[in-house]
Amino acid sequence: MAQAEKATPVGTARRSGAGAIIPLLSRYAPAVCLVVLMIVFAILQPQFLSPRNLFNVMRQISIEGLIAIGMTFVILTAGIDLSVGSLVACAGLVAAMIAKGSTASSFSLSTEAQQGYGWFAAMAGAMLVGILGGTIQGAAITKLKVPPFVVTLGGLSVFRGLALMISSSGPISGFDESYRWWGQGSIGPVPVPAALFIGFAVLAFIVLRYTRYGRQVYAVGGNREAARLSGVNVQRVLFSVYAIIGFLSGLAGFVLSARLNSSEAVAGYGYELTVIASVVIGGTSLFGGIGSVFGTVIGSVLIGVLINGLVLMDVNPYVQQITIGLILVLVVAFDGFAKSRRLK
């Protein structure tokens, strides 16, 4: 927390009294909330802290977390992607079809004697589907100048429709062990999806912090006109973030099918809510230019812990959705409040 110490003197120098606590709080609010929440759950439900449960939480958040990493790039450019859940379903189904050879064997639960291809082809197929979906939307946004909200709202419908079409014969289930490993396996104690999540989070952190491309993402989101006049290829940056989130959605689709040992057209339903909520709760501004992958990881874990805690306490499952929605709005409201205090 060296950064916190460095930031404090500046913060207190310019503001005094009780006012100083608010900007600090707003910077670390997600982390503070997470810790408080974990303490509360640990007291109410001792089994919450069991390693088994914690790894379970990690496995649960990782799939949406992967997409949230991509969503961080998109939101940093002041964009949005609502199509992620539908793209997850498409990618998962394509992966399953590759793994099983065709949809004909979709009712076979046997893991033997498949004429399909291995997990690698399935995973590559899913990624390809994701990249394709992302780049088509990116092209619509940059070339046709349609706002991201509209393009990806269209994508949400189109990709879900495609998923329903290609899986007309129902869910495709039963994969071999090496395929399932990507969703159900572990590396040491760490679930594979969690390892992927962490790996891509680190990669994204490096890209955003240490590369030219990362700088340009922040610049485009922070002030698009200034970025253009500074020689940043704005259209290319915008296009690329949709390709990135497409790729990660595709990967997430594959991992989800591996975890559930099944791909179906309704997979990933409603993911956009959790994913956008994770990013925004993590402190990334919907207006672009402000935010970090670190915040997104915290936001993802926060939502995961919240849901897990509610499940452990036997709360009506529908309350989860209500809670996420409320928290999302409250966080943004608080952020606006903190900002107005900063400007005073």
Residue choice 91, 163, 166, 219 for contact with other proteins (CB under 8 A): 219
Q: How far is the CB of 17 from other proteins (least distance, A)?
A: 20
Residues 10-39 that bind other proteins (CB under 8 A): 10
Q: How far is the CB of 202 from other proteins (least distance, A)?
A: 15
Map the footprint of other proteins across residues 290-329, applying CB under 8 A.
Answer: 290
- C-beta of 188 vs 231, nearer to other proteins: 231
Using the minimum distance from each CB to other proteins, give the nearer residue, 215 or 261: 215
**CA 198 remoteness from chain centre:** 12
The two tokens of residue 105 are 């064997």
Q: Which of 107, 120, 210, 337 binds other proteins (CB under 8 A)?
A: 210
Distance from C-alpha of 285 to C-alpha of 148, rounded to nearest angstrom: 16
Residue 168, classed as helix, strand or coil, is: coil
Length of the chain: 344
Shorter beta-carbon distance to other proteins: residue 10 or 144: 10
In the stretch 272-291, what mask flags binding to other proteins with x, by CB under 8 A?
Answer: -----------------xx-
| Binding residues for other proteins restricted to 230-269, rule: CB under 8 A | 230-233
DSSP strand pairing (262-263 vs 190-191): unpaired
Identity of the residue, 76 or 328, whose beta carbon is nearer to other proteins in the bound complex:
76
Site residues (CB under 8 A) for other proteins, limited to 57-76: none
| One-character DSSP codes across 72-94 | HHHHHTT-----HHHHHHHHHHH
Among 181, 222, 286, 311, binds other proteins (CB under 8 A): 222
Chain centroid to CA 46: how far? 29
- Residue pair 273/324 in contact (Cβ under 8 Å)? The answer is yes
257 or 285: CB nearest other proteins:
285
Tell me the window of 83-91, 113-121, 212-220, 247-255 that interacts with other proteins (CB under 8 A): 212-220
**At residue 115, what is the residue type?**
Q
Q: Which is nearer to other proteins, 51 or 231 (CB)?
A: 231
Burial (CB count <10 Å: 0-12, 13-18, 19+), residue 83: buried
Q: Determine, following the binding rule CB under 8 A, whether residue 183 of this chain makes contact with other proteins.
A: no
Residues 114-173 binding other proteins (CB under 8 A) are none
Distances (CA, A) of 58 to 52, 61, 194, 200, 301: 10, 5, 6, 14, 8
For residue 213, state whether it binds other proteins (rule: CB under 8 A). yes
Whether 303 and 61 have beta carbons less than 8 Å apart is answered as: yes
Q: Which is nearer to other proteins, 19 or 185 (CB)?
A: 19
Distance from chain centroid for Cα 6: 30
Q: In angstroms, what is the minimal distance from the CB of 342 to other proteins?
A: 10
Q: Which amino acid is at 189?
A: P
Find all residues with CB under 8 Å of 148, minimum gap 6, and list them. Answer: 74, 79, 80, 81, 137, 141, 242
Tokens describing residue 52: 């088994």
List 77, 216, 240, 296, residue binding other proteins (CB under 8 A): 216
Closer CB to other proteins, residue 70 or residue 214? 214
Size of the site for other proteins (CB under 8 A): 22
Q: Does residue 8 interact with other proteins by CB under 8 A?
A: no
Cα 207 from Cα 204, distance rounded (Å): 5
Chain positions contacting other proteins, by CB under 8 A: 10, 210-213, 215-216, 218-219, 222-223, 225-233, 289-290
